[in-house]
């Protein structure tokens, strides 16, 4: 269907064509086998504002494979965060993969779940698990990005805070200062 839409875009000014003409061009581009396939489904229920959109809907359902969907979801769920890849880069990669998955949940929910399970940063995972269920997507990503930055800063200071929340790391620094007599 993407190739057909590209053809219409290249042809130009097809929006003004009557629906019957767009359907006729679509059927012509399908070829003999595609037309036979379309005849088998042309009376099925479909969604769309006009007969052309309904034809497109029928064809998309006929030719979209469950195997392709399963493969897309497998790609999504097997995608791990790469070493050195930031939270935001990982979320962008997941977004590209999620667009093909037709999740029964929102793509945002699937991305946050995948980020929580497959992140390579324990601090990010801990902060995401602490988020409320109704947390907005961008807020959850911001929490994860902050946890990632805080873990990197803590690692730079040479302490073991990479596995701690920012609050735990701060308490440890204060306790260390008290014990050393700096306070």
Would you place residue 171 in the very low, low, confident or very high pLDDT band (cuts 50, 70, 90)?
confident
Task: Pick 110 or 102 by higher pLDDT.
Answer: 110
**Cα angle value 141/153/126 (rounded, 5°):** 45
Taking phi over 0 as left and psi of -120 to 50 as alpha, with beta for the rest, 84 belongs to left
pLDDT tens-digit series, residues 29-46: 888 888 888 888 888 888
Q: How many CB atoms lie within 10 A of CB 123?
A: 26
Residue 91, both tokens: 């979320």
Taking phi over 0 as left and psi of -120 to 50 as alpha, with beta for the rest, 12 belongs to left
């Amino acid at each position: 269907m993407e190739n057909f839409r590209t053809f219409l875009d290249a042809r130009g000014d097809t929006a003004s064509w009557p629906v019957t003409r767009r359907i006729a061009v679509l059927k012509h581009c399908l070829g003999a086998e595609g037309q036979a396939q379309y005849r088998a489904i042309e009376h099925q229920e479909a969604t769309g504002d006009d007969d052309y959109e309904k034809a497109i809907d029928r064809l998309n359902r006929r030719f979209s494979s469950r195997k392709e969907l399963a493969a897309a979801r497998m790609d999504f769920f097997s995608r791990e965060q790469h070493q050195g890849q930031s939270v935001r880069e990982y979320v962008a990669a997941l977004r590209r993969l999620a667009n093909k998955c037709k999740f029964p949940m929102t793509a945002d929910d699937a991305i946050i779940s995948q980020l929580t399970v497959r992140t390579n940063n324990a601090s990010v995972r801990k902060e995401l698990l602490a988020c409320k269920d109704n947390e907005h997507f961008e807020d959850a990503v911001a929490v994860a990005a902050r946890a990632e930055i805080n873990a990197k800063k803590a690692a730079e200071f040479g302490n073991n805070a990479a596995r701690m929340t920012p609050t735990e790391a701060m308490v440890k620094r204060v306790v260390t200062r008290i014990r050393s007599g700096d306070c």
